[in-house]
Structure 1
Amino acid sequence: MDLLSYKPIHTWAVEDRPREKLAEKGLDALTDAELLAIILGSGTRNQSALDLARSLLDSHQNLQGLAAASSKALTKIRGIGPVKAQIILVVFELGRRKSQHEAKRRHIRHSRDAAKYLQEKLADRKQEVFWAIFLNQNHEIVHEQQFFEGGIASTVIDTRVIMHVALEHLAAAMIICHNHPSGNLRPSAADRAITRKIKSGADIFDIRLLDHIIVSHRGYYSFTDEGLLD
């Protein structure tokens, strides 16, 4: 930053200050950087909170990238110490939990409902993880669980464990999901084999496999939408 051009936020015009702008115009009027500046509370000797917020967003490309950052990655930014890093992590975690809570209160009617929920949970994971959502007769979420992490292959997916959890929670239906950290959304031969294996197990107990969804930061792929579960 050019130190000659640096001006603390309290010297700005009132309408340009994030807190005053929030009070005057509401949350919708603030940019991502302005919202983040309010969360940070303060900047450094040479940077305003808003400049620091912009540096954070630029270094992680966008809010999605920032939400996936670790404490170690955050503290690499000049002006972000352990306390500010923890505040950022807590804010994003609260947002994720709110989304999860709202999802559990509503019905999963379409693949896009499940995909949106699962993307928030899994799309930014650095390793491949396998997840399942269990639903009642009304397609309300009654339980969800991660089963595997790492390289996912049909040989490591134990259908008996998944069915045990489904029966334990009296599930009438289920949706399975895994992420592709590479961003590629096309299912592999192993993905198709896993789907057939779990569907066969679910059929034995009269539990409907509603979908297998692959998520990444680029979007999602639904086996049901593509006609692969017929």
Structure 2
Amino acid sequence: MTIKFLAQDDRPREKFLLKGKSSLSDSELLAIIMGSGSRDESALELARKILISVGNNWNQLSLLSVKDLMKFKGVGEVKAISIATALEIGRRRAGQEVSEKPVISNSNDAYNVFRNQLSDLRTEEFWAVFVNQSNKIIHLSRLTQGGISQSVVDVRILFKTALDHLATGVIIAHNHPSGSLKPSREDMTITQKIKEAGKFLSVQLLDHLIITQDSYFSFSDEGLL
């Protein structure tokens, strides 16, 4: 029985798409890497046979050479290289340290993130930093570009981005090309609108910065949140 005749939930690629990569068994992952089986057995059956031969241990499988893998019926040079390559990628990934994400502890930290993006612009732009529960940055995004005096942000896009990245907090910022740090009426309105919308989605507005060429204004520091 080949993979195309299996129930949809049992097809590794379809299962990957329907249920996510963590739902796949080791043999299903290996079957996807190989892509196909032999005339006599499916990729899934061949994957099970290979894994059983090494005690279902990825570390032991990684010790097999291309020639060792090619001893299994249905595993040619291309499949053997694909398996060895996937295992080598896993080895290198395990050896790399996960880079530490910057943490925003105060308005000055946020300013240091935004100033390279906003301080020297001649037109107004609206940016956002999305953070997790530890206030570590998980995404930085420009949301709008506008004219000299105003850039209107779409609150729906802001929170869609937050939800897409599983953010629990957001810090927004825009620049004033005029050099004025005084919030406009529109700045005050959009800040409150975003703050209230965030309450319903459990995404807290942590601060709103107005950036000029050499300074900034923090809504949080000024007690305006």
Bin of the TM-score, shorter chain as denominator length: 0.5 to 0.7
Contact 2:101 2:138 in 1 (8 A): no
Match of 1:201 among 193, 197, 201: 197
Code of the residue aligned with 2:105 in structure 1: it is R
Q: How does 1:65-144 map to 2 (within 5 A)?
A: 105-144=101-140
Deviations 1:193-230 (A, max 9, x none): 0101111111111111000000011300000000000x
Match of 2:29 in 1: none
Match of 1:176 in 2: 172
Distance in 2, Cα, partners of 1:153 & 1:193: 13
Match of 2:145 in 1: 149
Change (3 A) 1:196 1:153: farther
Distance in 2, Cα, partners of 1:153 & 1:194: 12
Match of 1:191 among 179, 187, 192: 187
The alignment yields a C-alpha RMSD, in angstroms, of: 1.5
Distance in 2, Cα, partners of 1:110 & 1:142: 16
Q: Which has the greater radius of gyration?
A: 2
Count of residue correspondences? 125
TM-score by length of 1: 0.52
Deviations 1:166-196 (A, max 9, x none): 0000001000000011111110000000101
Match of 2:12 in 1: none
Distance in 2, Cα, partners of 1:219 & 1:157: 22
Code of the residue aligned with 2:176 in structure 1: it is H
Q: What SS does structure 1 have at the residue aligned with 2:158?
A: helix
Deviations 1:66-93 (A, max 9, x none): xxxxxxxxxxxxxxxxxxxxxxxxxxxx
* TM-superposed deviation, 1:117: 1.8
Contact 1:153 1:191 in 2 (8 A): no
Deviations 1:27-50 (A, max 9, x none): xxxxxxxxxxxxxxxxxxxxxxxx
Which segments of 5 or more consecutive residues in structure 1 lack a partner in the other structure? 1-103
Change (3 A) 1:153 1:180: closer
Distance in 1, Cα, partners of 2:220 & 2:130: 16
Q: What SS does structure 1 have at the residue aligned with 2:170?
A: strand
Which segments of 5 or more consecutive residues in structure 2 lack a partner in the other structure? 1-99
Contact 1:111 1:211 in 2 (8 A): yes
Match of 2:220 in 1: 224
After superposing on structure 2, the runs of 4+ consecutive aligned residues of structure 1 that deviate more than 2 Å are 151-154
Contact 2:124 2:150 in 1 (8 A): no
Q: What SS does structure 2 have at the residue aligned with 1:105?
A: coil
Code of the residue aligned with 2:108 in structure 1: it is R
* TM-superposed deviation, 1:140: 0.6
